[in-house]
Every structure is written in C-alpha cells, then in structure tokens.
Structure 1
Amino acid sequence: MSNKVCCVPGCSNSAGSKDVLHKFPNPAKNNDRFNTWVYSVGGEILGLSNDHIFKYRRVCHKHFEEKYWCRSNLLSNIAVPTKNMPGLKLPILSFRESLRPFKSIQNLSEASTSKGPEVPLNKVQITDVAPQMKENVGK
C-alpha cells in the first residue's frame, strides 16, 4: 500500500479522490498521538514500523469529525481518526438470548441457635424465580 491510498481497512479513497489524505503525526515529536492514530486505524499497520507508517501511510479526511477540521483541509493538532472506522467485530446478542432464570435460596427454618457452620439440607428450599418475575412485570 502506498502513501496515495487511505490505510483505514475497507476505505478505498485515494489521492485522486476528492478527500484529502493526511499524514500520521510524527512519532519522534508526538509518540502518544501517533500511537492513538495507529490503534484507531488498526489493521495491517499494527505490524509495521513507526517510521514506515509515518512515511508511507495516510488517512483520508472522511475519518475525522468536523470538530477537528480547520480551514484549507487542515486538521487541528489534537485530531484523531474516529469516523467510518471498521471497529471490532463482536457478536450481537439480543436481550432475550442472554436471559436465564435464576434460582433463589430461602431458608425456611427459624433463626439457628446452633454454633456449627452447617445448615441441614432439608431446611433449605431452592425455588425458580422466573415465574414470579413474569407475574410482577404484568402488574
């Protein structure tokens, strides 16, 4: 990939398009900001040297929020690419899929006077709370 193409994964803008291509911040002068850009872009550039990224990789203008734009297609010195980024691909679960009935433990005996740590199992009842929750939701 050359410095005439946006290096954001999935972006096809190039130097011939209407969007301006921006250089990465200089890692020798502002390493923290440079690293923020690198991790924001992600993809194959994560395996490249800082020098190579700075010299040969670019990010197009469409990946920056308007608040970072200055006149003449320049960016502010705090700009970070955050728009139209591919992001992590995580599975999306619906709320229903993640619900599982839980059980509550009720001690049916009176207050214990024993000094031992054991509770007799015949005095403990485990109940399913899900039906009670459905009744309460309808009220």
Structure 2
Amino acid sequence: MKAAQRQFLWTVDGIPGGFASKSGGEITSDATKVWDGGSLTPDVIASPPEVGDITLTRPYDPENHQELLTSLIAKVGQMRVTISGQPLSGDMRAVRGASPRVYPNALLIGVREPESDASSGDAADFELTFAVGSAG
C-alpha cells in the first residue's frame, strides 16, 4: 500500500510535539569526471555525501508557541538538536521494522514566524530551518 505525505512524524529533541511538514534533507554527492590521456571514457570520482538543510513546519498556536519562538530566535546559529523522522502506517502507528531517519547535531539556522493577513482565514504556521551534517 502506498503512503500519503501525512504518514510521517517529525520531531526535534528539546521541542515538544511533532511537526506537520518537512522539506529538504536530501543526501547528494558531487561527481567529477577525470580523463586519462587517450581514454575514451572517464573515471568518475565522487565527493563525500552532503545532507541538505531541513525545514520543519508546524501550525502556529499563540498560546503554546509564541514563548517557544521567542526563545528559538535567540538561539539561531547556536542551538544544536537531533531531528527524527518516523514513517507511519495508515492508522498513524510506527511502521514495524522501519527505523527512524535521524539527523544528529543539526544546527538551527533560521526561524520564520507566522505570516499575517487580516483578510485571510488560512492556518498560520511557523518554520524552523536546520543545517545538517549527516543522516543516520
């Protein structure tokens, strides 16, 4: 059975609750082609893998999140956390045998407070962006 995007639970150590969406975290490696003199095909050399920045988003509740956001803004560029993502089944339970994706020692590099628009009824949300060194 295929999974929906909602079937993941993303958490950050030290921040209570889960996040509604995650973007980024792709693992990539640059490659260079090296040609030996007279060769018709190159050797391909890869750089060490890198993990892209991760952005986590959560619906904003002013009663529960404003104090947290104020605290996090003061910690941008300093706070290190572990981010975990767990795939869930259709009934929102952890998938048996699936290990969570863990990003240790992630550095908080950005906080986006909720957008505001007096004519909108859309849900307000906030984002946290983390620089990530590795994934496990």
Q: TM-score, structure 1 length as denominator?
A: 0.20
RCO higher in 1 or 2 (8 Å CA, sep ≥ 6)? Answer: 2
- State which structure, 1 or 2, has the greater radius of gyration over its C-alpha atoms: 1
Larger helix proportion of the pair: 1
Q: TM-score, structure 2 length as denominator?
A: 0.20
Larger strand proportion of the pair: 2
